[in-house]
Chains A and B, each alone.
Chain A
Amino acid sequence: MPSRTNQRGFKRMNRRELLKLTPVLALGAFAIHKLQEPLLSAGLGFSDWASRLMFRKHHLAPTFADSELTPFEKFPINDYDVDDPEVDLDQWALTVTGEVQKRGDYTLAQIQALPKIQQNTRHVCVEGWDVIGRFGGTRLSEFLKMVGADPTARFISVKCEDGYYESLDMATAMHPQTLLCYEMYDQPLTREHGAPLRLNVPTKIGYKQAKYLTDLKVTHIIEKAGGYWEDQGYSEFYGL
């Protein structure tokens, strides 16, 4: 036998049930102008935190056969400012600072004297497109060993000839596929692709692959979010 109530009792019961849904209204905080930005940056921070947990330092990004490469001329040239910041290639050296034993300027020849790695990996742009490119260079971890970087430092930050700047967490910097890249498609880097030295980090999103490097710093702290696009509101970690 069903129990019986009157209309008032039913109304009261419905009101009580409706009140159980009030926590849903908390989502309205996202509609409040003042709260929106801190909430979204907390959300992005949470995503970055989760991404750091998901990163595995020995897990390799997929590599591809030469036949799967995107033709060189169809590898997009992306900048935030100019294609060619007119690096003086004869005078160029990488200035290393921060938590390292051997600070100073390193020439391309010194970098190229380190073991060379070549890899066909996917370059994924935050916009949504992707290409498969061929990259050659030396492991960033080798270079860091050579300059005597403090392994307990948290970040590597780089500056570029065009004013662009970027950073990597130390775990990613030490990843075996993270390269100081001086070749693409078996040729020295062209100016548009970042001559003479760029980053190639197959475990990271495209905007982390900084070009025309001039400075490299090993550091415990990075300013703001540590990169040009990151400071505009993009993810700081963006590991793939």
Chain B
Amino acid sequence: MAEGVLEIESAKSGELTPAVYEHPWPVRFCHWVNTVALFVMVGSGLQIFRAFPSFGAKIPQKDLLDWPKAYALGGWLGGGLQWHLTFMWIYMATGIFYLGYQVFSGNYRQVLFMPRDLRGVWPMARHYFFFGPKPPARETYNPLQKLAYTSAILLGVLSVLTGFAIWKPVQFSWLAWLMGGFHLARVWHFAVMWAILFFVFGHLVMVVLHGWNNFMSMLTGWKKDPEYTPR
């Protein structure tokens, strides 16, 4: 897509810097709405969890952990539920808009992890975690990135499905059944949250490591001086 590639000419030296349009606005829009929505969903979800911080029986109740009130949103269970039941619609709407856009625009090719990406995962992981040589960058996302983002999207879908299983265990009893019953569905919903938080943590570390131009690309779409040769 040649229309997404530019050369920026410096007024002083006449030097040319390449720039590439990496993120179409629907992707950026969904990314930032989702940033807020995830923050609210996790914060209010932990508030809801505080009401019964256990996965066992009510009698006798054995608490799993004592989550501090300061790190939960909504003030009390009712408040947490209000935030959760409001933002889940924003969370789902962004998710549906995002998936729809990716599929119908064909932009999903940029991010969807495919079997051919498999062999590129280990060299990239070796580079990040064990100081291996840096594999040459060829496209917007490297294979490890595609794996991470594709997993994150799947986790998003799972968070919605597990959520529905515990919010509507009668109307969607088949969902709860798929997850091993209502009781286990609540465990899955909690586990999916931690998996998403694990992704977010890794994501933030990478954002810090990759600097300003990379960060700006999620705001403006344009990445100045990319690591790969734009096609």
Whether a CB of chain A sits under 8 angstroms from the CB of B205 is no
Indicate whether A126 sits within 8 Å of B86 (C-beta atoms), given known contacts A7-B10, A240-B170: no
Whether a CB of chain B sits under 8 angstroms from the CB of A18 is yes
Are B222 and A10 in contact (CB-based, < 8 A)?
yes
Are A233 and B25 in contact (CB-based, < 8 A)?
no
A125 to chain B, nearest CB (A): 7
A235–B6 alpha-carbon span in the complex (Å) = 53
Are B89 and A46 in contact (CB-based, < 8 A)?
yes
Are A10 and B8 in contact (CB-based, < 8 A)?
yes
Indicate whether A3 sits within 8 Å of B11 (C-beta atoms), given known contacts A18-B219, A54-B171, A76-B58: no
Q: Which of B1-59 contact A (CB under 8 A)?
A: 2-3, 5-11, 16, 18-19, 25, 28-29, 32-33, 36, 40, 48-49, 51-52, 54, 57-59
Are B78 and A229 in contact (CB-based, < 8 A)?
yes
- Which of these, B90, B186, B219, B224, contacts A128 with CB under 8 Å? B186
When each residue 161-191 of chain B gets 1 if its CB lies under 8 Å from chain A and 0 otherwise, what string results?
Answer: 0000001111101000000001100100000
B58 to chain A, nearest CB (A): 4
A125–B183 alpha-carbon span in the complex (Å) = 12
A240–B171 alpha-carbon span in the complex (Å) = 7
Are A41 and B171 in contact (CB-based, < 8 A)?
no
A25 to chain B, nearest CB (A): 9
Whether a CB of chain B sits under 8 angstroms from the CB of A44 is yes
- Which of these, A10, A50, A70, A130, contacts B6 with CB under 8 Å? A10
Whether a CB of chain A sits under 8 angstroms from the CB of B132 is no
Whether a CB of chain B sits under 8 angstroms from the CB of A39 is yes
Q: What band does the interface of chain A fall in when counting residues whose beta carbon is under 8 Å from B?
A: 35 or more
Q: Which of A1-46 contact B (CB under 8 A)?
A: 1-10, 13-14, 17-18, 20-21, 23-24, 27, 30, 39-44, 46
Are A56 and B58 in contact (CB-based, < 8 A)?
no
Count chain A CB atoms within 10 A of each CB in B33, B40, B86, B89 and give the residue with the most. B86
Indicate whether A74 sits within 8 Å of B220 (C-beta atoms), given known contacts A3-B6, A61-B170, A240-B169: no
Are B82 and A3 in contact (CB-based, < 8 A)?
no
Are B87 and A43 in contact (CB-based, < 8 A)?
yes
Are A2 and B6 in contact (CB-based, < 8 A)?
yes
19 A-B pairs with CB atoms under 8 Å apart are: A5-B8, A6-B8, A14-B220, A17-B220, A17-B221, A39-B86, A43-B86, A43-B87, A47-B86, A54-B171, A56-B171, A61-B173, A70-B57, A124-B182, A127-B51, A233-B78, A234-B78, A240-B170, A240-B171
Closest 5 A-B residue pairs measured CB to CB?
A: A43-B86, A128-B52, A127-B51, A129-B58, A14-B220
